[in-house]
Amino acid sequence: MPPADTQILSHTFSNGLVLIAEPMQSVESVAFTIRVPSGTAVEPADRGGLSAMTCELLLRGAGPRDNRAFVNDLDNLGVERGESVSDAHVVLRGATLAKNLAPALEIYADVLRRPRLPDDQLEPCRLTALQELAAIEDEPGHKVMLELRRRHFPDPWGRPSQGQQAALESISLEEIQNYYSQLYRPNGTVVGVAGRFDWPALKDQVGELLADWPSLDEPALEERLPAERRAHLHHESNQTQIGIAYPSVPYRHPDYYVASAAVGVLGDGMSSRLFTEVREKRGLCYSVYASHATLLDRGSVLCYAGTSADRAQETLDVTLRELLRLADGIEAGELDRLKARIKSSLIMQQESSSARSALLTRDWYYLGRVRTLDEVERIVDELSADRINQYLAGHRPGQFTIVTLGPKTLEVPVGVS
């Protein structure tokens, strides 16, 4: 594990932008993650995909660089990069050699503040977005989980980043320009850096690049109740996809690691209960898992099972039975196996500047601070079966959202709320 004197460095600029960094002197690389508060939740309800198309067009040229120069300059710096859109954020990621951090940040500052948003790149961006939307039809497991989130979380928090076909086909350059000018802002943006860097120089450079970026008002959001919690999507196939969700606690809650450990015993890995009971013992499905998902102020458990159509009803019944059985408690041996997997994951995070930079910004968004790996390790070490069982006794799985995709509707067992 990392040494006890692991430092988390942070600075908040006058415009609200947060820079947070973690030195990793054992590596020669450095990674950065930029989390901008312009995700799908702030899209107009009938313009699904606007956030993703705006993000795509931002990366088609910025500052003095056109699309080709932008790509070439990042490639010449050896920047491994990516981007994603979530309900709350657009996330830009990069990793490179430590000596190339400063020029890489200069390029991304242009993306944030001086994007070209070129008209000749609008249609290629549109085609990319439409292809990503169409690809969901070839991934029925992905499709059912997107629909599960949409029905489980209140709108706008369950919206898929892929958007809506009608919106994608008609989004204009003016809409993208307006979306960028109204929603890309420093207040709420977090820049996370992890790896080998000089903190004073990094803070000064980010200040020069972004400290005078004008802040904007935070958009007001109105939550609407989610759709009906039971749904079947008809799909002619020999397979059936099953998605199940129920409420839990968010990442910022004091019981988060207790709740997350219970979910780990339930559905994380090949020794989990779902894998053992649903797949290994009964051979009911080819894939089954459960994971903990969190928004800022609420959490949920999301479960998935993919099975053959003729065994779908039994798969749903057994999966729900295992979810309900979780309230009876876990055993110490189950927790020990989970702890071993968690600690392996922590060691890998310690060795990855990209993983750490992403976690810096995630923690800051949810907690307003960062948990060091030492702190997380202590929390994991202190978990006990008794503590988890006390939690489960008072937080029994229920209020299920259930979405299925396949050739026929399944019946929810009597007594399942």
Q: Over its length of 417 residues, how does the chain's per-residue pLDDT go in tens digits?
A: 334 446 899 999 999 999 999 999 889 999 999 999 999 999 999 999 999 999 999 999 999 999 999 999 999 999 999 999 999 999 999 999 999 999 999 999 999 999 999 999 999 999 999 999 999 999 999 999 999 999 999 999 999 999 999 999 999 999 999 999 999 999 999 999 999 999 999 999 999 999 999 999 999 999 998 878 999 999 999 999 999 999 999 999 999 999 999 999 999 988 899 999 999 999 999 999 999 999 999 999 999 999 999 999 999 999 999 999 999 999 999 999 999 888 888 877 778 999 999 999 999 999 999 999 889 999 999 999 999 999 999 999 999 999 999 999 999 997 788
pLDDT of residue 280: 93
Q: Is residue 53 located within the same domain as residue 181? A: yes
Statement to judge: residues 400 and 308 lie in one domain: yes
Domain that holds residue 311: 230-406
Q: Do residues 113 and 238 share a domain?
A: no
Number of H helices, E strands in the chain: 15, 11
Q: What is the pLDDT of residue 14?
A: 98
Residues 359 and 299 in one domain: yes
Statement to judge: residues 65 and 136 lie in one domain: yes
- Helix, strand and coil content of the chain, in percent to the nearest 5, comes to 45, 20, 35
Per-residue model confidence (pLDDT) at position 5: 47
Whether residues 205 and 342 share a domain: the answer is no
Same domain, 65 and 148: yes
Q: Does 417 reside within a domain?
A: no
Q: Say if 45 falls within a structural domain.
A: yes
In a domain? residue 222:
no
Number of compact structural domains in the chain: 2
Identify the domain boundary among 210, 240, 259: 210
Q: Are residues 186 and 79 in the same domain?
A: yes
Please check whether residues 252 and 312 belong to one and the same domain.
Answer: yes
* Residue 205 to residue 202: CA distance in whole angstroms: 5
Amino acid 2: pLDDT: 39
Give the per-residue pLDDT at 304.
98
Residue 178 sits in the same domain as residue 237: no
Domain annotation covers residue 225: no
- 141 and 254 both lie in a single domain: no
In a domain, 218, yes or no: no
Asked if residue 1 belongs to a domain, the reply is no
Quote the pLDDT of residue 225.
87
Question: Given 156, 179, 210, which residue is the final one in a domain?
Answer: 210
